[in-house]
A and B are shown apart, each in its own frame.
Chain A
Amino acid sequence: IAGITQAPTSQILAAGRRMTLRCTQDMRHNAMYWYRQDLGLGLRLIHYSNTAGTTGKGEVPDGYSVSRANTDDFPLTLASAVPSQTSVYFCASSDSGAGELFFGEGSRLTVL
């Protein structure tokens, strides 16, 4: 692994189902983030984690949960998916002392 990887790259999901998007980074960055990207709305922060063991809510956290059991992994869970959660999801990481966000390739999620 080099950088930050997400899985799956694309998924179609029935409404009401549970879904976990995976994110792993090998850069030893302490901060990690989940954003959703919707046309005309840019990138909106869902949840973030400044360091392993801590998480926080972003702009649009409802319907999503995260965990940060270790430095490398930051999964995003939709407990009961709804069509409004159809979006492209980007995971990102940064060294909180440096600033640059490194993004994964994105996960396209469609909820029917």
Chain B
Amino acid sequence: GENVEQHPSTLSVQEGDSAVIKCTYSDSASNYFPWYKQELGKRPQLIIDIRSNVGEKKDQRIAVTLNKTAKHFSLHITETQPEDSAVYFCAASINFNKFYFGSGTKLNVKP
């Protein structure tokens, strides 16, 4: 089955700086890559996603890049704010079926 690895496990940045979280996947058939944000004590929620026919996608301060050849994708958050502090999960799926998640990155944005 699919294996998704995520790094780093924790990330601490100063407010206003950028944050980058990286994931790799093992199954070249995976074609959908969402990112979820989980605030403390709450459910994960989708923040951005990318499909395999696209190399980059942006939504305001967040962006995701995908390198299909290397089988890795990354989440970029610019101008970080304290409310960005949360755990972020990447995931991979084949045709929206059986989502496999990375182990999570705890992002701490220091004011």
Interface residues of A (CB under 8 A from B): 31, 33, 35, 40-45, 48, 50, 56, 58-59, 90, 94, 96-101, 103-106
Interface residues of B (CB under 8 A from A): 1, 6, 9, 32, 34, 36, 42-46, 49, 89, 91, 93, 96-104
Contact B97 A42, beta carbon cutoff 8 Å:
no
**Consensus secondary structure, chain B interface:** strand
Which residues of chain A are near B9, meaning CB under 8 Å? 40
Kindly list the 6 A-B residue pairs having the minimum CB-CB distance in the complex, ordered from nearest: A42-B103, A103-B43, A43-B101, A99-B96, A42-B101, A42-B104
Across the interface, name the chain A residue whose C-beta is closest to B41.
A106
Contact B98 A45, beta carbon cutoff 8 Å:
yes
Report the Cα distance A33→B36, complex, angstroms: 16
Contact B44 A42, beta carbon cutoff 8 Å:
no
Report the Cα distance A106→B93, complex, angstroms: 22
Report the Cα distance A110→B9, complex, angstroms: 25
Contact A45 B46, beta carbon cutoff 8 Å:
no
Report the Cα distance A17→B46, complex, angstroms: 35
B5 to chain A, nearest CB (A): 10
Report the Cα distance A98→B34, complex, angstroms: 12
Which residues of chain A are near B6, meaning CB under 8 Å? 42
Which residues of chain B are near A43, meaning CB under 8 Å? 44, 89, 91, 101, 104
Give the most central of B36, B43, B49, B102: most A CB within 10 Å.
Answer: B43
Contact A35 B96, beta carbon cutoff 8 Å:
no
B95 to chain A, nearest CB (A): 8
Report the Cα distance A5→B36, complex, angstroms: 19
